Chains A and B, each alone.
Chain A
Amino acid sequence: DAGVTQSPTHLIKTRGQQVTLRCSPKSGHDTVSWYQQALGQGPQFIFQYYEEEERQRGNFPDRFSGHQFPNYSSELNVNALLLGDSALYLCASSLLGVGSYEQYFGPGTRLTVT
């Protein structure tokens, strides 16, 4: 049973560019959450997707957008990249409803903006 997978592992982009990160949830899970973890900090909640809709959003600008597909996988898009967007981006999946508090995290995508 595969856990949460994320791609790519590492990514280097230039300021002003756009980036797309991908996540496949754990088998049987229907909800995907995205987090940004800056170096030396705890993860910060970006947003959560359920039934292909953004269910909840943290304090991030509109440059951060996402999508969830019918197979529950998800993408995180960041436009007009800033140096401050350099971070580890974590995806977590869960099953909404009973047991939804247990989120399983992927290994993350390390984004470097130069």
Chain B
Amino acid sequence: GDSVTQMEGPVTLSEEAFLTINCTYTATGYPSLFWYVQYPGEGLQLLLKATKADDKGSNKGFEATYRKETTSFHLEKGSVQVSDSAVYFCALLKNTGNQFYFGTGTSLTVIP
């Protein structure tokens, strides 16, 4: 079945460090891929998205490229800030419906 696998957390980084959170997916067809962020006590916020192979989503310094050949959508940021501390979820949406499949989330803590 359709699924998303994220790297296990938690991840702790120093401010200005480089961030990579790995995400791979399993799906038939051509899903759209997303990264959502969840701050403590809040709902999910869309961070970025890519709707077809080789698309790059970007927002607030975060980037992810839709790689169909490796079924991956890794999240990267060149220099993290303390305010980036949150839980990050990778998700896919099949083009046959509106059901999202989420990964288990990766908790990121950035220390000054």
Contact = CB atoms under 8 A, between A and B. Distances in A.
A binds B: yes
A94 B43 CA distance: 15
A66 B104 CA distance: 25
A110 to B, nearest CB: 9
B81 interface: no
A48 B98 contact: yes
Interface string A79-114: 000000000001010101000111111111000000
Interface residues of B, number: 24
Nearest to A31: B98
Contacts of A56: 97-99
Contacts of B7: none
A9 to B, nearest CB: 10
Interface stretch (B13-21, B45-53, B62-70, B72-80): B45-53
A41 B98 contact: no
A58 interface: yes
Nearest to A43: B102
Interface string A41-82: 111110010000001101000000000000000000000000
Nearest to A91: B43
A109 to B, nearest CB: 10
Interface of A: 4, 31, 33, 35, 40-45, 48, 55-56, 58, 90, 92, 94, 96, 100-108
Given A42-B103, A56-B97, 10 more contacts: A40-B104, A41-B105, A42-B89, A101-B98, A102-B46, A102-B49, A103-B98, A103-B100, A107-B42, A108-B43
24 contacts: A33-B99, A33-B100, A35-B102, A40-B105, A41-B104, A41-B105, A42-B4, A42-B91, A42-B104, A43-B89, A43-B100, A43-B102, A45-B100, A56-B98, A56-B99, A94-B98, A100-B98, A101-B32, A101-B34, A102-B46, A103-B46, A105-B43, A106-B43, A108-B43
